[in-house]
């Protein structure tokens, strides 16, 4: 099985899960680059997976299914205009053409209905978790977002994290402000700079890498707690409060 990025808009990735001439897409916000990809590869579209309702994730679906009628698996709480197979936390999706079974993880916060898809060390997390960052909390609460990220943080360390945007460089700049003495962040920043200068994606990352460098998963790290304390003027009451202080800080930058 191969997983390839299809670039869309300025910084979106539509993930193509390929096997034996079949392909499933994750969050095709734009149809044109997908149609070009299908023409180039000759792959047959077999399914579309949707993490949440924002236009840059679902905007291409109507045109794609008009040309290639396939099931669209997505959140039960949103994107009803395109989703044909609504899903909730702990549901399962079988893609027999690819030999893949996916578990649905409910991750509200960025939107109330946001879901992620997990299978055998692969995580398609939409806008919940980014390389060294996380999505803004538009609809849910900060506590919900923390709980959602905690679910993802509990997955196996070798999990490959396929997020939907190329935000890693800017996220790492913020991570260095939060933890200026974190050597893992400095190393990752250099590695990402090399990848981007060569025109290569900075993702997927591994969950282990995120736990070492992503301030939004490092609510137990003394340096992150200290940074949150400085922002709040007092020690955070718990992990969720530490996360909230860092997320609100990021919103100002």
Catalytic residue among 27, 110, 114, 146: 110
95 contacts 26 by C-beta, under 8 angstroms: no
**Residue 114 annotated as catalytic:** no
**What's the residue count for the chain?**
253
Known catalytic residue at 22: no
178, 223 Cβ separation under 8 angstroms? yes
* Beta-strand relationship, 85-87 and 122-126: unpaired
How big is the CA angle at 217 (ends 213 and 223), to the nearest 5 degrees? 65
Give me the catalytic one of 27, 54, 114, 146: 54
Range list of H helices, 14-117:
32-41, 55-58, 61-67
Query: For this structure, is 220 an active site residue?
Result: no
Catalytic one of 52, 68, 91, 191: 52
Distance, in Å, from the CA atom of 110 to the CA atom of 120, rounded to the nearest integer, reads: 25
Q: Among 27, 114, 146, 165, which one carries the catalytic annotation?
A: 165
Query: Do 60 and 27 meet the contact criterion of CB atoms below 8 Å apart?
Result: no
Query: In the beta sheet, which residues pair with residue 124?
Result: 117, 162
Check if 165 is active-site. Answer: yes
Would residue 56 show up in a list of annotated catalytic residues for this protein? Answer: yes
* Residues 107/117, Cβ–Cβ less than 8 Å: no
Candidates 133, 100, 103; CA nearest to 115 is 103
Catalytic residue (one of 27, 114, 127, 146):
127
Does residue 134 contact residue 152 with C-beta atoms inside 8 Å?
Answer: no
The tokens of 135 are what? 């999505």
Residues acting as catalytic residues: 52, 54, 56-57, 110, 127, 165
């Amino acid at each position: 099985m191969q997983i390839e990025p299809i670039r869309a808009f300025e910084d979106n990735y539509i993930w193509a899960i390929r096997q034996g001439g079949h392909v499933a897409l994750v969050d095709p916000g734009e149809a044109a680059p997908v149609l070009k990809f299908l023409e180039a590869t000759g792959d047959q579209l077999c399914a579309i997976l949707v993490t949440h309702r924002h236009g840059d994730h679902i905007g291409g679906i109507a045109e794609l299914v008009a040309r290639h009628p396939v099931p669209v698996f997505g959140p039960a709480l949103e994107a009803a205009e395109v989703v044909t197979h609504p899903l909730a936390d702990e549901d399962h999706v079988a893609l027999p053409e690819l030999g893949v079974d996916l578990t649905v993880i409910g991750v509200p916060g960025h939107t109330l209905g946001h879901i992620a898809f997990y299978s055998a060390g692969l995580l398609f997390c939409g806008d919940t978790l980014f390389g060294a960052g996380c999505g803004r909390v538009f609809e849910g609460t900060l506590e919900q977002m923390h709980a959602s990220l905690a679910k993802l943080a509990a997955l196996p360390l070798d999990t490959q994290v396929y997020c939907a945007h190329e935000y890693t460089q800017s996220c790492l700049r913020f991570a260095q402000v939060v933890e200026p003495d974190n050597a893992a962040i400095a190393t990752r920043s250099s590695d990402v700079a090399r990848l981007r200068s060569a025109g290569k994606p900075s993702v997927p990352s591994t969950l282990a890498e995120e736990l070492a460098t992503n301030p939004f998963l490092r609510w137990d790290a003394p340096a992150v707690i200290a940074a949150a304390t400085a922002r709040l003027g007092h020690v955070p009451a718990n992990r969720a409060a530490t996360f909230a202080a860092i997320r609100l800080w990021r919103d100002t930058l």
